[in-house]
Amino acid sequence: MHAVMRLPLARWGWREGRGRRGVRSIGAWAPVPGVEMVGAAGTGGKRKKRTNGRRRKKKQRTNVSEWGQMSMCDAERRLLANALLDISNEWFVLVSETCIPLFNFSIIYTYFMRSRYSFIGAFDDLGPYGRGRYNLSMAPEVKISQWRKGSQWFELSRKVAVTIVKDVIYYPKFKEFCKPHCYVDEHYFPTMLTIEVPHLLANRSLTWVDWSRGGAHPATFGMADITEAFVKKIVEGQSCLYNNQPSSICDLFARKFAPSSLKPLLHIAPKEFYRATHMETYYAGTSLQKYT
């Protein structure tokens, strides 16, 4: 499993993966001009191979990736292409610097490895922020009935990741005709994958967010927000389909968490996240097996 992330909350976010050599690797996107983060070469559980992440200076200035621009999708495709070079990587997870995992590494790993589907939101929004962003010039490659919207965070199998990297049909259309007020990172992957591999998509995200405060961005949680009641709200009472069967494990990650949330998370969250984890250990380890 290969995860791509930026790292302010890494002390909390991936400590549960320590000691599990040969089953995961992490690549970091470092938005620092002239510097590229090269992640560890990891495995999907088949080979015992791992190298340490390192920084290397580039001869040319790193391209800047901007939200809502094709440069963001370009960066994600490059990260996927790099991770695909290791043939033992079977799953590819894109999370942000504000994400935290909700369960321990074993459950997250099992959830991916036994899933028949990849996870990316792709829904048909009939309003001005969905179909209203469609440009008729995108036809015939993309019809308005095929236009989809979703977040840029994803969890993909190798086959679906390859579909993204190899695309040369839809990329030119989105690059030319999806510009603000059309935000390409919300539409390109969901639309293209819905057209090419709809049978491989769960059509939902695995990242919990809170839009209840309104605005263009989900709520950001800081030190004052991290309470036991808040954590319980995230991990309890979920309901969804996993491999076409009812499941109570629906979100594996949550965002957005500010750096100030780290200290209370380290104090409070282990009691709640891992209590929920222990309750679900039998479910994830045994019940998920019947869905494979």
Answer with the residue of higher pLDDT: 4 or 101. 101
How far, in Å, CA of 203 to CA of 190, rounded?
Answer: 9
Q: Which pLDDT does position 278 carry in this prediction?
A: 47
pLDDT in tens, 88-129: 899 999 988 888 888 888 888 999 999 999 999 999 999 999
Closest CA to 14 of 117, 99, 76: 99
Answer with the residue of higher pLDDT: 64 or 26. 64
> Which one-letter amino acid corresponds to residue 30?
A
Q: Which pLDDT does position 7 carry in this prediction?
A: 52
Calculate the average pLDDT of the chain: 78
For the cut 50, the answer to whether the pLDDT of residue 172 exceeds it is yes
How far, in Å, CA of 272 to CA of 2, rounded?
Answer: 26
State the pLDDT confidence band at 41, using cuts at 50, 70 and 90. very low
**Token digits for 185?**
């990172």
Q: Which pLDDT does position 273 carry in this prediction?
A: 59
For the cut 70, the answer to whether the pLDDT of residue 85 exceeds it is yes
pLDDT in tens, 265-282: 888 765 655 555 544 444
Q: Which pLDDT does position 164 carry in this prediction?
A: 97
Query: Which region among 22-36, 74-88, 261-275 has the lowest average model confidence (pLDDT)?
Result: 22-36
Q: Which pLDDT does position 104 carry in this prediction?
A: 81
Q: Which pLDDT does position 114 carry in this prediction?
A: 94
For the cut 70, the answer to whether the pLDDT of residue 34 exceeds it is no
How far, in Å, CA of 227 to CA of 36, rounded?
Answer: 36
Q: Which pLDDT does position 264 carry in this prediction?
A: 87
Query: Which region among 13-27, 151-165, 220-234 has the lowest average model confidence (pLDDT)?
Result: 13-27
For the cut 50, the answer to whether the pLDDT of residue 174 exceeds it is yes
